[in-house]
Amino acid sequence: MKKAFLSFIVGCIVFTTSAQTSITLNTDLAKTQINKHIYGHFAEHLGRCIYGGIYVGEGNTKIPNTAGVRNDVIKALKDLKIPNLRWPGGCFADTYQWKDGIGPKANRPKMVNVWWGGVTEDNSFGTHDFLDLCERIGAEPYLAGNVGSGSVKDLSDWVTYVSHPGGSPMSELRKQNGREKPWNVKLWGVGNEAWGCGGNMTAEYYANIYRQYATFMTDWDNTSQIFRIASGASDGDYAWTETLMKNIPHKMLAGVALHHYSVISWTDKGPSIDFNEGHYFKIMQEAWQMDEFIKGHSTIMDKYDPQKKVALIVDEWGGWYSVEPGTNPGFLYQQNTMRDAMIAGLTLNIFNNHADRVRGANLAQIVNVLQSVILTNEEKMLLTPTYHVMKMYNVHQDAMLVPISIESPSYEYQGKKLTAVSASASKDASGALNISLTNIDYSKPHEVTINLRGEDFSKISGQILSSAKINDHNTFEQPNKVAVKDFSGAKLEKGVLKLTIPAYSVIVLNVKK
């Protein structure tokens, strides 16, 4: 009797400290490809992202480098399988004069970065440096053109300089500067945040400007297939998206951008490390809003483009907090904790599940700025929790999205509720199934049951990113405090997967036939 009573008590404890999540995957109905460009990144001339983060100078003997770019960063980015990298901004893009960043470095004029810290830059990292970096890491370059303060000719010349095979003044100038073959850049942003730092334009005015600039971004032989991306809305500005979709001919519009940051408030962003549950819940609310914004903008795009030919490109997203104490407020340097891993896992699940319209995205930013995947300090470098999530999830790149239905309990805080567990799934070219799960609950583990319908599977493996505290992060003294580990807690029997996902953790499962 005592033993039975004890078992009853233990059962009650388990029931009250974990929650049930039910997922159904129709594994034989995968029809939509998850575009690899959803896993893109963003490198702006901001703080220590470029100088000191990526580029340390060709004469640097203290930090191993290739043509001035850190070797440890090159390796980390190659391992991450970055599909595209956006540069040079951001707000910086609409002040950048690309011709100042080519030719002999000793002859390049200096400039003042008026947007970020008022620092003087020597233009030693320019077009060749960036495009060569992209080649080294296997990423497609995504160039953001200067529409705010540049001219149509400036942007047209840049397109010619990097992509024309030869015979034009710009292609010959490229050859004089040491590059014979063109880079054939396909991804182009026509300005950035035109509603704000890119010129404070109205949507109607920008639509006309876009048409003008896009016209002269020439695709000479129809082989380079320039992919033009319009400066899109911030958050829920649906009127901006409607104006662009209505007023820009879709034959010159490949993508429309969307920017959304997870921020507590723009006046008090809160700490990046010593946050409390109130801070955490607000950030998770903002991260979940990405789903709402994508649905809203997609609905408008469907109205004008029911065949979904125009892509939604979320080319700025991530967590934004107050800078680390004692650092330049214009440099936007912040630490990266398990909270950021939750933003990444949740957001990537959202992108995957909207793969029919979302076909590109860029996490802000790649090194030492905002939600970075890499932090550096002189010769030291570390990988953040966000890096680990992005690497775990790269199994979804170009895989086929598996339709999913999910019923998850709520994560509750002071009477407010959020869905606790998010998930997405895909099938790769070999037929293997990859399932990504993120539990944002601040304190509760969740029992997960996954019904695999349509096909039979027999083998399972997995990885988990978890830690003892939600505030845990990697430092230069403890660079591996938060690290990926093998996960063997999932059991597969008769087409049903069962596992428990701890609070604030990310799991990716690989299931084979």
Q: For 134-171, give the secondary structure using H, E and C.
A: HHHHCCEEEEEECCCCCCHHHHHHHHHHHHCCCCCHHH
Helix (H) / strand (E) containing 379 = none
Predicted pLDDT of residue 280: 98
Dist CA 470 CA 439 (whole Å): 12
Q: What is the pLDDT along the chain (513 residues), one digit of tens a residue?
A: 333 433 333 333 333 456 799 999 999 999 999 999 999 999 999 999 999 999 999 989 899 999 999 999 999 999 999 999 999 999 999 999 999 999 999 999 999 998 998 899 999 999 999 999 999 999 999 999 999 999 999 999 999 999 999 999 999 999 999 999 999 999 999 999 999 999 999 999 999 999 999 999 986 655 568 999 999 999 999 999 999 999 999 999 999 999 999 999 999 999 999 999 999 999 999 999 999 999 999 999 999 999 999 999 999 999 999 999 999 999 999 999 999 999 999 999 999 999 999 999 999 999 999 999 999 999 999 999 999 999 999 999 999 999 999 999 999 999 999 999 999 999 999 999 999 999 999 999 999 999 999 888 889 999 999 999 999 999 999 999 999 999 999 999 989 999 999 999 999 999 998
Dist CA 512 CA 27 (whole Å): 12
**Virtual torsion, Cα 345, 347, 352, 354, nearest 10 deg:** 160
DSSP 8-state code for residue 467:
-
From 193, 286, 407, 455, active-site residue: 193
Q: Which two tokens stand for residue 332?
A: 């936007």
Dist CA 45 CA 87 (whole Å): 8
Helix (H) / strand (E) containing 454 = none
From 316, 324, 455, 493, active-site residue: 316
Q: In this structure, are residues 82 and 40 in contact, taking their beta carbons and an 8 Å threshold? A: yes
| Chain position carrying tokens 């490198």 | 43
Please give the full DSSP string across 65-132, using - where no structure is assigned: EETTEEHHHHHHHHHHT--EEEES-SGGGGG--GGGGSS-GGGPPPEE-TTTTT-EE---S-HHHHHH
Which residues of the chain form CATH 2.60.40.1180? 19-30+403-512
Q: In this structure, are residues 39 and 82 in contact, taking their beta carbons and an 8 Å threshold? A: yes
Predicted pLDDT of residue 4: 40
Listed residue (204, 83, 187) closest to 145, CA to CA: 187
CB crowding 435-470: b at 16 or more within 10 Å, else e: bbbbbbbbebbbbbebebeeeebeebebbbbbbeeb
286 noted as active-site residue: no
β-pair partners for 426:
401, 434
Q: Which two tokens stand for residue 409?
A: 């309990």
DSSP 8-state code for residue 395:
G
Which residues of the chain form CATH 3.20.20.80? 35-398
C-alpha 397: how far from its chain's center?
13
pTM of the complete model: 0.93
Predicted pLDDT of residue 222: 58
Dist CA 207 CA 233 (whole Å): 12
Q: In this structure, are residues 145 and 193 in contact, taking their beta carbons and an 8 Å threshold? A: no
Task: Classify 435 as helix, strand or coil.
Answer: strand
Main-chain dihedrals φ then ψ at residue 105, nearest 5 degrees = -65, -30
What fold does the segment set 19-30+403-512 form as a domain? Immunoglobulin-like (2.60.40)
Predicted pLDDT of residue 196: 97
For domain 35-398, is the CATH number 3.20.20.80? yes
Listed residue (258, 259, 254) closest to 298, CA to CA: 258
Q: In this structure, are residues 23 and 406 in contact, taking their beta carbons and an 8 Å threshold? A: yes
| Beta strand 400-401 pairing with 421-427 | antiparallel
Q: Would the CA dihedral through 60, 61, 66, 69 be positive or negative?
A: negative
Helix (H) / strand (E) containing 248 = none
Q: How crowded is residue 477: how many other Cβ atoms within 10 Å of its Cβ?
A: 8
**Virtual torsion, Cα 350, 356, 360, 363, nearest 10 deg:** 0
- Strands in 306-395 per DSSP E: 311-319, 358-364, 374-377, 380-383
